[in-house]
Amino acid sequence: MTQNKYQNIITNEEVNQNKLDRADAIISELYHKMPKYIANGHGPFLAAIYDNDGNLIAESANSVLSDKCSNNHAETNVIRAAEEKLGTHDLSKYNLSLYITAEPCMMCIGAIMWSGIRAVYYGVPSITVEKITGFDEGFKPNWLHEFATRNITVYGNIAPESGERVLRDYVTNNGTIYKPKRTY
Ligand SMILES: [Zn+2]
């Protein structure tokens, strides 16, 4: 591991190396799993929720196309799965962290806020996702700041190169790009 591995990290708190090391391992594993999900008809985004002891609570990929449901992003799917598993609409007392292969879109930022998730770690930033795929990630407020005011920590741009590679493969293999930026 090089010293400058995390030099481009985006965060809304003072950098915590242990959190970053854990996030790097989990998100790298998610990148590794993505091609299998995509081969099974999922969209190219994957998310997982872990508790503070490192136990996996839920893992879900984007299922917009297979479910014919525009709000079944990886984040909304995994939050729903965690809430069903724990039997609550409010995850805040479980001190859970959400790990995502890419920065959450405008819809998912709202979903995360409502869920009680305490920390968010993401891989590829939205600007890069849009550049590679053409997905429209939406207009966003200064969400890292807004999350900080709600005691939700955020770390982003974690090992993005591997995630970018999977997204590029998705496009190269003619994966469906559904664009909200419609002309009507
Ligand atoms: Zn989303």
Per-residue confidence (pLDDT) for residue 178, from 0 to 100? 82
Spell out where the chain has E strands.
Answer: 10-11, 46-50, 56-61, 97-102, 119-124, 153-156
pTM assigned to the model: 0.95
d(CA 44, CA 69): 15
How much distance in Å is there from the Cα of 45 to the middle of ligand 1? 9
CA of 118 to the centre of ligand 1 (A): 17
136 C-alpha to ligand 1 centroid (Å): 10
pLDDT tens for each residue of the chain, 184 residues long: 555 778 899 999 999 999 999 999 999 999 999 999 999 999 999 999 999 999 999 999 999 999 999 999 999 999 999 999 999 999 999 999 999 999 999 999 999 999 999 999 999 999 999 999 999 999 998 999 999 999 999 999 999 999 999 999 999 998 898 876 666 5
- The pLDDT value recorded for residue 3 is 56
Q: How far is the CA of 150 from the centre of ligand 1 (A)?
A: 20
Q: What is the per-residue pLDDT for 36? A: 97
Amino acid, res. 87: G
Catalytic residue status for 75? yes
From the list 59, 75, 137, 164, the catalytic residue is: 75
- Can you tell me which residue has the tokens 């997204």? 167
